Amino acid sequence: MHEPAAIQDQIPENHCYGCGPENDRGLQIKSYWTGEDETVCTFTPSPHHCAGPTQYLNGGIIATVMDCHTICTAIADGYRQAGRATGTGDKIWYATGKLDVQYRAPALIDEPVELTAKILERSERKTHLQCELKSGGRVCATADVIAVRVPDNW
């Protein structure tokens, strides 16, 4: 079951290309909690997101949506750990400390891809996550991500 609003829509002043609702030229991904430590995102590629072969999704776009999905998960978890609703009170920001993407199969561009992120470990400054991107029912990419807490004025 999805929350009423996407995580990204609750993060104030988010202008990120991949996940920022305040960037009208961005990818506009939307992530939702599906469990205590898991989130899901469905992204529908556009034809201009293609790789060399036009039937496949560009690897950079894959990395971007995986990065943004996991970082937004870490941000929302930071608010949860602080006992606050996402976007309330002092801002909580995380940035990418590590993004290790493993490409396993081409992702089709003419259908939505589904991303799942899972929090593996958290500390005061870092959150370790894994992400999986599926297309056509198969795993096309996985990522190991370290999200690092940064000052709210970063």
Taking alpha carbons only, the member of 64, 40, 46 closest to residue 134 is: 40
Closest CA to 116 of 103, 104, 128, 129: 129
Closest CA to 63 of 97, 6, 102, 37: 102
The CATH number that domain 7-150 falls under is: 3.10.129.10
Q: What does the pLDDT read at residue 105? A: 97
Chain mean pLDDT for the chain = 95
> What sign does the dihedral 12-17-21-25 (CA atoms) show?
positive
pLDDT, mean of residues 18-29: 94
Reported pTM: 0.95
Q: What confidence score (pLDDT) does residue 4 get?
A: 73
Domain ranges of the chain: 7-150
Extract the tokens encoding 153: 């004025």
Residue-wise pLDDT tens digits, 94-136: 999 999 999 999 999 999 999 999 999 999 999 999 999 999 9
92 close to 152: Cβ distance less than 8 angstroms = yes
Q: Which pair of structure tokens corresponds to residue 142?
A: 């996985």
Q: Helix (H, G, I), strand (E, B), or coil: what is residue 140?
A: strand
Structure tokens at 69: 């999905």
Q: How confident is the model at residue 1 (pLDDT cuts 50, 70, 90)?
A: very low
